[in-house]
Structure 1
Amino acid sequence: MAVGACERTLTEMLGVLGSRSRDDLAGSVHALAEQALTDQSETGGPRVNFACAVWHDKMRPLKPDYNDAAVKSYKAWTGAVDFHEKPEEAAEQINALVVMLTNDLIPSVIDPGELSRLTDLVVANAIYFKGKWGKPFNKRLTKEEKFHCLDGSTMDVPFMQDGNRQLIACHHGFKVLQLYYQRGRLFPTQPRARYSMCVFLPNAYDGLWRLVNKIARNPDFLDEHLPTSTVLVGDFHVPKFKLKFSTKLSSDLQELGLKDAFDPGKADLSDMAEGPGRPLSLQDVLHKAVIEVNEEGTEAADVTYGKGMVGCAQGYRRPPRVDFVADHPFVFFVREEVSGAILFAGHVLDPSME
């Protein structure tokens, strides 16, 4: 959207996205696409799909400069549909692309009833990730244990276990576990992307929201608290889980400062589409995500779219073993380590529910 925004609408978008200019934003996205979102499946590493798409009504063609920037800088697919007269067909085309990009994890992102004669544009992006652990968990060791929810109830859920050394950092009030994914074979022309899942586990059963607030207040919190070495583990239990999430982001974006884009009287998206007609503005921004974690690895996908108008320690002193028992709510991140880009983030409240 920022590529087609002007004046104060552009300023607000850049502020929310943390970029200085359109060129700065385009460069950042292009760099991420070349590094953090590079598919390694053909060489044994994670499978990664990333794509942007812009669908416009056939009566409102995209401006050439916007189309070129979307395709070249954002690796976007663009196409015309008939939102006004054939909303069912338009929704079918949008959902078909989402299904393909997310390997069927997200079967649909938009309902025909959400489209109308007021819909001129739909902008969407999708990320799909499937990676195997560098050291998979032994399924025979998985067993059911109690998971303690925030309301005091408990659920029996399957926990993965491992007695090997792990990357764990112990901090005041919480611990951090980092699990690396299997890396693809490297070639001279291939970016050296490396992916991991980071689990932030509060010590207290009810400590999730305090930990989330700490993370949210400091943009560098994740990097500052990651493990730097492996440790001997004592009790080590991490639950299997599969989460599905869907929400509207419009109010959140407005609270962050993106206000004019949602106001038909103030929005300036004049660099997006050609032709006469009502000025474009944002109607909704919606987000859907799915992530599954098991003994073999992680499979995850999300879609966001907007409608517009080592061995034992040496010596005789054996280091203490560290327990990591994620039997209560925790925060997780899936990220690419070289760039620091976060692909997925969330919290697990109850692993027994999707």
Structure 2
Amino acid sequence: MPTNPATRYLHVQKTLYNRSCHYVGRTLRPREKVETRKSMRSFFILAVLLLAGCAAANNRNSVASEASAIPHDVSYAHARLAAALYPRLAADAEANDNLFISPLSLTEGLGLALIGARGTTETQLRELLAWSGQSKPERLVREYGAFLSDTGEDEVRLSVANALWLSRAIRFDPSYLNDTERYFGATAEPVDFGGDPLGAARRINGWVAQATRERIEEIVSADQFDQSTAAVLTNAVWFKADWSAPFKDGAMSEYTRGDGSRVPIYMMERIERLQYRESKDGQAVVLPYGSSGRFVMEIFLPRDSEVLRRWERDISALSFSLASQGSDAYFDLGAEASRQILLRLPRFEARFENSVRDALVAAGIPCAFDKACADFSGMADAPFAISEVAHATFLRVDETGTEASASTAIAIRVTAKPPVPDVPKMIVDRPFLVAIRDRASGALIFFGRIADPMPVEAT
């Protein structure tokens, strides 16, 4: 049994989850499902209370606050962010655009910024993520990432990584670097954004490519960097899993795109007993991965484009979680009964690469991007603001399973020029003389006066 209270809680939760998997072999009746969820929830609450008490007894100052935040507080941020961000991205997207984001990746990227945020900037970030300043759920991110990555089966693999890319010209607060490493497992790498922007971009993109198994090869570009670039905070997620039962049949068919046009596509097919929902608005199904069914893909098929727009517009954070009080669990099919169905699903790949800056501003964190308001004094003694948030994802679905990757890059800039040092100044703003010579031989190759310099275009 782990000794760290936060780790111990995750161990207890995982043990409870594994025990619950004994039910996977049969379909629970609705009443059994309700009772099982109630029992599990009560056990979780009791475990959290006991662990919080132990933590307080052992170390009331430092460990108790970590133990009081539970993994649900960490994961609820994913639903909260999706509900705040996705509708704004969908409103600006074209009918045929793929829109596939990673709330996990975005949450951890913003969490790296939150560690160094203060004042209104911190308040807005905590409100967006629903991460209390009292319990500080961000302190459990590394532990929770380890819990997610420990899938318990070879057929399901998941990895989460964080890194900081920091300007060599700025001294970052040691406590910020310590906290991001301790709570997020983030490595800190010095780079020369102003002197070698191409080299900085290559290093960041190389890290992202490696962390996403080459599925995302570029998240930043050299032209984004200059002397004012202070840091880039990155997250990468990679997921690859086999279906519990692979698709073995299929045939060519047609797919109707968002604008109504039709394109040929290969449709995989299987007949199987799956968790399934059908309503006047459409259909939904659960496709489990691996042998335990811990990880699943949930597919929601709207009746028509009007229903799709309504679903995208009216997303609620509570709709993603059966465990949340007051939830309608619309986008969580965990309580649905299983039944025999015929499923046809496209074999496809999809990518999303875009800035989510404007959507995040609209979602509730404008201060972080405003140089007059942003406060990241927890990072360094310099005026910082977020200048850009780039997000990229990859998704592949085929007969054997799913591969998905995501990366988030948060660029932070210095918002004010540093004071000019008190040194001699030479301002060449009047006629001057210029010489070009060979010092080895003494040859004077060029010499003369420049009284009317002609401007030239940069090459």
- TM-score scaled by length of structure 1: 0.78
CA RMSD of the aligned region, Å?
1.9
Cα deviation per residue 1:167-196 (whole Å; 9 max; x = unaligned)? Answer: 211233121110111147xxxxxxxx9210
Cα deviation per residue 1:25-52 (whole Å; 9 max; x = unaligned)? Answer: 3135234313234355xx4131211011
1:301 pairs, out of 392, 405, 409, with 405
C-alpha separation in 1, matches of 2:179 and 2:308 = 41
Tell me whether 1:137 sits opposite 2:241 in the alignment: no
The offset of 1:222, in angstroms, is: 5.8
1:245 pairs, out of 349, 352, 364, with 352
Aligned equivalent of 1:281: 385
Aligned equivalent of 1:98: 208
C-alpha separation in 2, matches of 1:218 and 1:62 = 35
Gaps in structure 1 of 5+ consecutive residues: 185-192, 310-354
The offset of 1:123, in angstroms, is: 0.4
Secondary structure of 1:165's partner? strand
1:153 pairs, out of 261, 279, 291, with 261
The offset of 1:61, in angstroms, is: 3.0
Secondary structure of 1:109's partner? coil
Higher relative contact order (CA 8 A, sep 6+): 1
Q: Which amino acid aligns with 2:131?
A: S
C-alpha separation in 2, matches of 1:124 and 1:183 = 32
Q: Which amino acid aligns with 1:211?
A: W
Tell me whether 1:211 sits opposite 2:311 in the alignment: yes
Tell me whether 1:232 sits opposite 2:344 in the alignment: no
The offset of 1:205, in angstroms, is: 5.4
Identity of aligned residues (%): 25
Conserved? CA contact 1:19–1:25, under 8 Å: yes
Q: Which amino acid aligns with 1:95?
A: N
Query: Which 4+ residue blocks in structure 1 deviate beyond 3 angstroms?
Result: 37-40
2:274 pairs, out of 158, 166, 172, with 166
Conserved? CA contact 2:149–2:157, under 8 Å: no
Cα deviation per residue 1:34-78 (whole Å; 9 max; x = unaligned)? Answer: 3234355xx413121101111111121321111111011011111
C-alpha separation in 2, matches of 1:148 and 1:76 = 43
Tell me whether 1:65 sits opposite 2:175 in the alignment: yes
C-alpha separation in 2, matches of 1:75 and 1:22 = 22
C-alpha separation in 2, matches of 1:115 and 1:86 = 9
Change (3 A) 1:280 1:105: same
C-alpha separation in 1, matches of 2:204 and 2:151 = 23
C-alpha separation in 1, matches of 2:155 and 2:195 = 44
Change (3 A) 1:183 1:92: farther
Aligned equivalent of 2:189: 79
C-alpha separation in 2, matches of 1:22 and 1:67 = 21
Secondary structure of 1:228's partner? coil
Secondary structure of 1:271's partner? coil
The offset of 1:212, in angstroms, is: 2.1
Greater strand content: 1
Tell me whether 1:34 sits opposite 2:135 in the alignment: no
Conserved? CA contact 1:125–1:303, under 8 Å: yes
Cα deviation per residue 1:262-295 (whole Å; 9 max; x = unaligned)? Answer: 1112211011125xxx511110011000010111
**1:184-195 correspondence runs (5 A):** 194-195=294-295
Change (3 A) 1:266 1:107: same
C-alpha separation in 2, matches of 1:199 and 1:178 = 7
Aligned equivalent of 2:102: none
Aligned equivalent of 1:6: 118
Conserved? CA contact 2:284–2:301, under 8 Å: yes
C-alpha separation in 1, matches of 2:199 and 2:239 = 28
Conserved? CA contact 1:148–1:205, under 8 Å: no
Aligned equivalent of 2:98: none
Conserved? CA contact 2:148–2:158, under 8 Å: no
Conserved? CA contact 1:61–1:80, under 8 Å: no
Change (3 A) 1:229 1:24: same
Conserved? CA contact 2:212–2:405, under 8 Å: yes
Change (3 A) 1:281 1:22: farther
C-alpha separation in 1, matches of 2:208 and 2:151 = 17
Q: Which amino acid aligns with 2:395?
A: I
Q: Larger radius of gyration, structure 1 or 2?
A: 2
Q: How many corresponding residue pairs?
A: 292
Greater helix content: 2
C-alpha separation in 1, matches of 2:400 and 2:221 = 34
C-alpha separation in 2, matches of 1:22 and 1:82 = 37
Tell me whether 1:15 sits opposite 2:127 in the alignment: yes
The offset of 1:220, in angstroms, is: 2.3
Change (3 A) 1:85 1:207: same
- TM-score scaled by length of structure 2: 0.61
Deviates more, 1:16-25 or 1:235-244: 16-25
C-alpha separation in 1, matches of 2:215 and 2:317 = 32
The offset of 1:148, in angstroms, is: 1.6
Secondary structure of 1:8's partner? helix
